[in-house]
A = this chain, B = another copy of it.
Amino acid sequence: MRHTFYRESLALFTDLYELTMAYGYWKMGMLEQEAVFHLTFRKWPFKGGYAIAAGLQTLVDVLLDFHFEPSDISYLQSLKDSQNKPLFEKPFLEYLERLSFSCDIDALPEGSLVFPYEPLIRIKGPILEAQIVESVVLNIINFQTLIATKAARVCQAAGEDVVVEFGMRRAQGIDGAISASRASFIGGCESTSHVLAGKLFDIPLKGTQAHSWIMAFENELEAFEAFAEAMPHQCVFLIDTYDTLQGARNAVRIADRLQGDDFVFLGVRLDSGDLAYLSIEVRKILDEAGYTKARIMASNELDEYLIRDLKQQGAAITIWGVGTNLVTGKDQPALDGVYKLTAIKNKQGLWEDKIKISEQTAKVTIPGFLQVRRFFHEGHLVGDVIFDDRSQPSGAIEMVGIADENDRRFMQPDTSYRDLLIPIFRKGKLCSELPSLRQIQQKAKKELELLPSSMKRFLNPQVYFVGLERQVHDKRLRLIEKMRRR
């Protein structure tokens, strides 16, 4: 048995119903019928005021290589239905074996600010293909967007300090760690402890020694000295194995002893205890010994709230190692993204808008070919409108609040704006040069700077305005009415 990381294709990384529906479309001769799907989420992650889009590059990598391997086909051929007959007919499997992904994709670039109800991804193409990728699209975009957002919050709490992502040991599986390291970097982390993520994504690495290193020697002094001898330029001493303040004094003793040699005392790390009190006392010890440039790093179940509290208490920490709570998005371990059909071409070749109704209006989908326009005023974001890409708005734009229908606003024609979804695939071919991870990180940083700080509060932030363009709103209402009348 081999695990996924040995595989070449992820076509089977999907829910069975994508394949049974694909089979249904194939059987009904509908496989080529064109359709449009959108990925959106509904809940503000972590009860905050924004999210950072992430995961597109990973998705592109998967889709560029989308194909069923012979062993996938054999597996599908072995599946049985409730009457112990083959679940799929052989010609369908032969069709799958030849299938490659040929849809159009428009997407929000990674690092963009994104808000509930806005499409992050739009996929248009043969319904069989646009449907079959649903699960993998959701898996990748939901998770990386969640973690990029969490990282942005953590980095916001840390302000000018450095945040290092430390999470792989408690991440949710191997890719839970790899994708989290990538998304954390997008959200603003300076580096990671995770070597494979460093290799794959060119993220800077940080890391020195664990308690076990200290314990492997007769005493702490010996352990520090041995480390300094082995890696004289990398000395961040872990000082809490036995007694943190004594540990700080031992670090100073070694630094004193090696001064003048080819030795650089970068700092110390605390991993337990009262981080506010201990960091202040350790700072005194370092400063009194003249090591004012040696930095104090801290780790231990940190998150944005703890970092903010520690800073308010005057903690002398300037490097924050954040692990579990960051890479698992602890207080909300999943983004509630959904992937919904919003239009389909009928047999007459005309596009029909589609809607999924629900008892709660907020859960009703938005029909059409959606695009998002973001408005700017004097260097700040002022609001977004979701409109139909087939009828570009001109003149003043009337917007109906998505969260509150009674919140109606007009945007004057001279307001500056940017349309957010950009073409990524055309007929299955990549048509856009994707930015590097560092560029994505820079983009996220700049976008966050444009968002008013009242909207970046951790709890109860001011709500960023997202509206439906008036025509889309009216069409949605008509479709709801039509559906309910049935």
Contacts and interface: CB of A to CB of B under 8 A. Distances in A.
Interface in A48-99: 57-58, 61-62, 71-72, 75-76, 79, 81-83, 85, 87
A169 B193 contact: no
Interface string A432-461: 000000000000000000000000000000
Interface stretch (A225-233, A310-318, A416-424): A225-233
A177 B337 CA distance: 16
Interface in A2-22: 2-8, 10, 12-21
A1 B57 contact: yes
A486 B355 CA distance: 71
Interface stretch (A152-160, A209-217, A387-395, A407-415): A209-217
B212 A24 contact: no
Contact of A176 (B173, B272, B344): B173
A470 interface: no
Contacts of A174: 4, 10, 13, 139-140, 175, 179
Given A23-B230, A215-B341, A200 B61 contact: no
A138 to B, nearest CB: 4
Given A175-B173, A199-B72, A207-B20, A82 B13 contact: no
A337 B227 CA distance: 26
Contacts of A13: 168, 174, 177-178, 194-196
B27 A229 contact: yes
A361 interface: no
A1 B61 contact: yes
B328 A334 contact: yes
A13 B354 CA distance: 44
A10 B175 CA distance: 11
Given A21-B213, A354-B215, A358-B272, A175 B233 contact: no
Interface stretch (A108-116, A127-135, A370-378): A127-135
Contacts of A473: none
A3 B215 contact: no
Interface size class of A (residues with CB under 8 A): 35 or more
A356 B143 contact: no
A219 interface: yes
A230 B28 contact: yes
Contact of A134 (B3, B5, B169): B169
Given A81-B234, A170-B334, A195 B14 contact: yes
Contacts of A62: 3
Contacts of A206: 16
Contact of A233 (B10, B81, B172): B81
Interface in A323-348: 324, 328-330, 333-337, 339-341, 344
Interface of A: 1-8, 10, 12-21, 23-25, 27-28, 30, 33, 35, 37, 57-58, 61-62, 71-72, 75-76, 79, 81-83, 85, 87, 127, 131, 134-135, 138-140, 142-144, 166, 168-180, 193-196, 198-201, 205-213, 215-216, 219, 226-227, 229-231, 233-234, 241-243, 264, 266, 272-273, 324, 328-330, 333-337, 339-341, 344, 354-359, 363, 483, 486
Given A143-B176, A172-B180, 10 more contacts: A4-B200, A5-B5, A5-B175, A17-B210, A19-B195, A21-B209, A21-B212, A28-B229, A81-B234, A142-B169
